[in-house]
């Protein structure tokens, strides 16, 4: 019996092999190239370049700001929309929510081309503002969908209980609906914030190379055969991704823990 179990686990082997060859190994290569000088020797010069050359670290800081701004605007637009879509007069029209995500299935570059055509027709200049508009336009569905899913599956008895206990509409929202939709908000933020770092096709099309995100810089470095600095910059991004992942995982676990303990405490009362 035990042997059979092991046998079925074998089906995970091809994927494990792919993970090692195409996921882990390239990241190791990234690390190697980041510490490799032009002559092949070990060097810290690439990382020194990343952290002392203003064009590099400023690009990184600017990208951080751009991503934060785009994510915040997405959240501010998506939450009310998701709230309306998930509320009682509207949630019986499933087609409504679908309409918001249909453009997602169209090629994003064609969508950005369409948006650029519209802004061009309206006489709006290319620049930082239009780059942000482009990011928000492209990523909005990715913020909307997880929040909508969280709100639609919400247990309404909490809000009713809050209302019965005398809380007004706004307080009920603040104390029950909003905290309960935090998982949706978190996945939405994860789906928008990090992808913005790579979205140079959008920021360069809607703005110019000055408004671009760090992904464009890395692409340019690799294309001009500056593999060392490009890899070092990419490696800094990777560390950032891992930090975001760990924080996200810890936060989720902590929340689950408090929820569980709250439930058990409630159960013993």
Partner 1 sequence: MNAKRKVFTVLGWVILIAALIIIYLPIALVILYSFINSKNVGESGPVSLELYKQLFENEKLLTAAGNTLLIGVISAFAATILGTVSAVGIFYLKRGKQTVNIVSQLTVYNAEIVTAVGFFLLSILLRNVVQKGIAWLIVCHTVITVPYVILTVSPRLSQLNPNLFEAGTDLGASAARTMFTVIFPQLIKGMVSGFALAFTLSLDDFVVTNMNRGDSVETISTFVYNSIRRGVPPAVRALSTIIFVAVLVVLIAVNIAGKAKARKGNKM
Contacts to partner 1 from residues 147-186, by CB under 8 A: none
Contact with partner 1 (CB under 8 A) among 40, 89, 266, 267: 89
Angle, CA 139 vertex, CA 187 and CA 67 arms, to 5°: 80
CB of 109 to partner 1, least distance (A): 4
Smaller CB distance to partner 1: residue 114 or 262? 114
Is there a contact between 202 and 135 (Cβ–Cβ < 8 Å)? yes
Smaller CB distance to partner 1: residue 17 or 58? 17
Selection from 134, 133, 136, 146 nearest residue 97 by Cα: 146
Per-residue binding string, partner 1, 121-140, x by CB under 8 A, is x---------------x--x
Contact with partner 1 (CB under 8 A) among 115, 132, 135, 159: 115
Give the DSSP per-residue string, 199-247.
-HHHHHHHS-GGG--HHHHHHHHHHTT-HHHHHHHHHHHHHHHHHHHHH
Smaller CB distance to partner 1: residue 253 or 261? 253
* Site membership for partner 1, residue 79 (CB under 8 A): no
Smaller CB distance to partner 1: residue 17 or 262? 17
Q: Which of residues 210-229 bind partner 1 (CB under 8 A)?
A: 214-215, 218-219, 222-223, 227
36 secondary structure, DSSP code: B
Q: Which of residues 181-210 bind partner 1 (CB under 8 A)?
A: 190, 194-195, 197-198, 200-201, 205
Using the contact rule CB under 8 A, the part of the chain among 97-105, 154-162, 172-180, 253-261 near partner 1 is: 97-105
Query: Which tokens go with 164?
Result: 């019965």
Q: Which of residues 238-257 bind partner 1 (CB under 8 A)?
A: 238, 240-242, 244-245
Contact with partner 1 (CB under 8 A) among 44, 48, 58, 87: 87
# of chain residues touching partner 1 (CB under 8 A):
82
Output the 3-class SS for 150-186: HHHCCCHHHHHHHHHCCCCHHHHHHHHHHHHCHHHHH
Contacts of residue 19, Cβ cutoff 8 Å, sequence gap at least 6: none
Selection from 131, 110, 238, 251 nearest residue 189 by Cα: 251
Q: Which of residues 33-72 bind partner 1 (CB under 8 A)?
A: 33
CB of 266 to partner 1, least distance (A): 27
Selection from 180, 171, 174 nearest residue 149 by Cα: 180
Is there a contact between 191 and 143 (Cβ–Cβ < 8 Å)? yes
CB of 66 to partner 1, least distance (A): 14
Contacts of residue 169, Cβ cutoff 8 Å, sequence gap at least 6: 163
């Amino acid at each position: 019996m035990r042997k059979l179990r092991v046998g079925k686990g074998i089906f995970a082997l091809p994927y494990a092999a792919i993970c090692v060859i195409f996921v882990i190994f390239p990241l190791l290569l990234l690390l190697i190239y980041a510490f490799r000088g032009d002559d092949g020797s070990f060097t810290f010069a690439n990382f020194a370049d990343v952290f002392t050359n203003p064009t590099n670290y400023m690009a990184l800081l600017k990208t951080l700001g751009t991503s934060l701004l785009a994510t915040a605007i997405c959240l501010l637009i998506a939450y009310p929309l998701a709230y309306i879509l998930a509320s009682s007069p509207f949630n019986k029209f499933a087609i409504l929510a679908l309409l918001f995500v249909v453009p997602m299935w169209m090629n994003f570059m064609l969508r950005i081309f369409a948006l650029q055509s519209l802004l061009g027709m309206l006489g709006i200049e290319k620049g930082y503002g239009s780059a942000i508009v482009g990011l928000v336009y492209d990523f909005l569905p990715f913020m909307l969908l997880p929040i909508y899913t969280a709100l639609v599956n919400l247990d309404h008895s909490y809000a009713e209980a809050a209302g019965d206990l005398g809380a007004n509409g706004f307080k009920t929202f603040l104390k029950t609906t909003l905290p309960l939709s935090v998982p949706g908000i978190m996945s939405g933020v994860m789906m928008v914030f990090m992808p913005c770092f790579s979205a140079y096709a959008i920021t360069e099309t809607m703005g110019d190379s000055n408004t671009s995100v760090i992904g464009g810089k890395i692409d340019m470095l690799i294309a001009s055969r500056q593999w060392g600095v490009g890899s070092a910059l990419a490696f800094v991004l990777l560390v950032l991704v891992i930090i975001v992942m760990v924080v996200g995982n810890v936060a989720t676990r902590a929340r689950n823990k408090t929820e569980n303990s709250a439930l058990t405490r409630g159960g013993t009362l």
